């Protein structure tokens, strides 16, 4: 671990890593500021551009993006009442009222400092968890990996609050796509319909580019106009006041960071739940809950600290087990695949230098992005004045050229366009895209480990329940699928009590 950290730090300082980290942070800020884009879109666009780069530099670039997006999204949330990314929605409650009170700079300063500290907190947690994770994975065999994959898929489908059926449908579609191509265990090809291009399965990177980059830009184009038409709304001042407030409110920062890191480590729950939970807890334990929603700076600090800390937490299941903790992590797995790494335990066991490079880039990017964005917040916010037609003219060609450049294949472009249409339809009809992407990743993992488990046990299916870890994971699967029914029952019980009262 120490040798890998030393190697990564040398690559960052003396090997040009700072350059890639800075580029990633700038791209992340811009994509975070523009509502509807966000981290998955930025990563999906830049994955093909890393083809030919060494893996360490690619990690610095990806880490810069993941560190820059969360704070970028808070700029428009605070200034324009429009969250750049979904987790920034909680920042709107008190951030925009502060802008209306002439305290936009203080709100941005608080968001920037809280984001930097939260990002560092998440990275520290990741560093503490990795040695334990490396030991834990040695207890996992095919039955455990199968159950873990099913648990990740079920947890993600269930976590789509109010959309359980739609989440399961999206996951089912992802599994169907995952089974296309050559059968690694039984040999032969499946569902290729005579198309040689599909022998290796539906390509991952063009799929991600379509689902996130193409779909989001089409959605923006159809909405039309600019994000805001009033230049006066982007005035910023008094940044230092907010930064000082963060250091006065240490309990709020630590509480928000802890919630973000813990929720981020649960696959599929994501930053939106973490940010709203951090905000809700802060309001509930406050001595002045009535001041929230009216410009209380704690209402900015808590969700922003949570938002950045969850990236470090989300990397724990992503790196240890190959189960993405968020949409960004799902796209990030595509980057690992592109650079010849199989997501899961093998990354921790055989590519520790890659892991430490990503950790360092996340830590430095969180601080770098916050400082840089505070210096140029006014100019960055003016991006929201650009007509979306110009954004489409820039981003859509970049996305399709990136899909083509990967293998110089027009088939990849066609795949990106097809999944762009699918992604837009999912946005239009409110179907979550994350279960589809996760199912594409986990489909082959589930199948291979299921069949290997039966081969090892000579067809005895009880192998999934006779092993302690596998049995525990099975019980967690059942519990996760029961969560919606439990929530519904509790809600009905409370409604009945209220009616009786």
- Rounded to 10 degrees, what is the CA torsion of 456, 461, 466, 472? 110
**Which residues, 6 or more positions from 13, have their beta carbon under 8 angstroms from its beta carbon?**
none
The closest of 92, 156, 79 to 318, measured between CA atoms, is 156
Query: What phi-psi label fits residue 387: left (phi over 0), alpha (psi between -120 and 50 degrees) or beta?
Result: beta
Q: Work out the end-to-end distance of the chain between its first and last CA atoms, rounded to an integer number of angstroms.
A: 60
- For the chain, the helix, strand and coil percentages under 3-state DSSP, each to the nearest 5: 80, 0, 20
- Closest Cα to residue 253, out of 146, 120, 354? 120
- Return the residue matching tokens 């006065």: 248
What does the pLDDT read at residue 417?
93
Residue 241 token pair? 């006041």
Question: CB of 357 within 8 A of CB of 60?
Answer: yes
Runs of H (alpha helix) within 34-182:
38-46, 55-80, 89-100, 104-136, 142-159, 164-178
Instruction: Sketch the domain layout of the chain as residue ranges.
Output: 2-137+144-500
Q: DSSP assignment, residue 339?
A: T
Burial class (CB in 10 A: 0-12, 13-18, 19+), 183: middle
CB 111 within 8 A of CB 411: no
Tokens matching residue 333: 């797995």
Which pTM value belongs to this model? Answer: 0.63
Q: How far apart are CA 335 and CA 61, in angstroms?
A: 11
* 238 to 44, 103, 105, 259, 372: CA distances (angstroms): 36, 7, 5, 29, 16
Compute the CA torsion angle 350, 353, 355, 360 (nearest 10 deg).
Answer: 170
| Cα separation, 329 vs 268, whole angstroms | 10
pLDDT tens for the chain, residues 1 to 501? 566 667 676 676 666 777 888 888 888 888 877 765 677 778 877 777 777 777 778 888 888 887 778 777 787 777 766 666 667 777 877 887 877 776 777 888 888 888 888 888 877 877 777 677 666 666 778 888 888 778 777 766 665 556 778 888 888 898 899 889 888 777 778 888 888 888 888 887 788 778 877 887 788 788 776 555 555 554 555 677 778 888 888 888 888 888 887 777 766 555 666 777 788 788 877 777 778 877 888 888 888 888 878 777 777 777 777 776 666 777 777 777 777 777 666 676 677 777 777 777 777 777 777 777 777 766 655 555 677 777 788 778 877 887 787 678 899 899 999 999 998 999 888 887 877 877 887 787 788 888 889 888 888 888 888 888 889 889 988 887 887 777 778 877 777 777 776
């Amino acid at each position: 671990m120490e040798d890998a950290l030393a190697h990564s730090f040398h690559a960052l300082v003396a090997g040009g890593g700072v350059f890639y980290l800075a580029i990633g942070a700038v791209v992340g800020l811009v994509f975070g500021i523009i509502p509807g884009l966000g981290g998955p879109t930025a990563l999906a666009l830049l994955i093909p551009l890393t083809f030919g780069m060494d893996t360490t530099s690619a990690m610095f670039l990806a880490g810069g993006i993941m560190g820059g997006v969360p704070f970028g999204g808070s700029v428009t949330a605070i200034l324009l009442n429009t969250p750049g990314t979904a987790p920034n929605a909680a920042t709107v409650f008190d951030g925009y009222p502060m802008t209306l009170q002439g305290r936009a700079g203080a709100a941005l300063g608080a968001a920037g400092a809280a984001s930097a500290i939260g990002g560092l907190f998440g990275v520290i947690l990741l560093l503490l968890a990795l040695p334990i994770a490396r030991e834990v994975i040695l207890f996992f065999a095919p039955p455990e990996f199968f159950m873990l994959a099913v648990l990740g898929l079920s947890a993600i489908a269930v976590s789509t609050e109010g959309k359980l059926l739609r989440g399961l449908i999206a996951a089912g579609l992802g599994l169907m796509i995952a089974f296309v191509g050559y059968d690694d265990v039984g040999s032969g090809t499946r569902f290729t319909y005579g198309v040689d291009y599909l022998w290796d399965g539906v390509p991952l990177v063009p799929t991600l580019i379509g689902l996130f980059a193409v779909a989001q830009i089409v959605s923006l184009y159809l909405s039309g106009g600019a994000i805001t038409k009033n230049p006066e709304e982007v005035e910023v001042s008094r940044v230092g006041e907010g930064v000082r407030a963060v250091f006065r409110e240490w309990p709020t920062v630590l509480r928000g960071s802890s919630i973000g890191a813990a929720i981020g480590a649960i696959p599929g729950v994501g930053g939106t739940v973490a940010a709203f939970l951090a905000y809700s807890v802060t309001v509930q334990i406050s001595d002045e809950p009535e001041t929230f929603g009216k410009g209380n700076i704690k209402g900015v600090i808590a969700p922003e600290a949570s938002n950045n800390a969850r990236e470090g937490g989300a990397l724990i299941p992503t790196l240890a087990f190959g189960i993405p903790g968020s949409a960004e992590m799902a796209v990030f797995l595509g980057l690992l695949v592109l650079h010849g790494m199989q997501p899961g335990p093998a990354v921790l066991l055989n590519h520790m230098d890659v892991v430490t490079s990503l950790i360092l880039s996340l830590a430095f990017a969180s601080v770098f992005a916050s400082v840089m964005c505070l210096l140029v917040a006014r100019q960055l916010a003016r991006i929201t004045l650009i007509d979306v037609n110009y954004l489409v003219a820039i981003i859509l060609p970049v996305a399709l050229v990136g899909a083509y450049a990967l293998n110089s294949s027009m088939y990849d472009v066609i795949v990106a366009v097809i999944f762009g249409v699918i992604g837009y339809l999912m946005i239009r009809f409110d179907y979550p895209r994350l279960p589809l992407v996760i199912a594409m990743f986990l489909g082959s993992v589930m199948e291979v480990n299921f069949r290997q488990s039966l081969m090892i046990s000579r067809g005895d299916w009880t192998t999934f329940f006779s092993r302690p870890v596998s049995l525990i994971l099975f019980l967690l699967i059942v519990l996760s699928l029961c969560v919606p029914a439990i929530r519904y029952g509790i809600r009905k019980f409370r409604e009945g009590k209220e009616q009786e009262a």
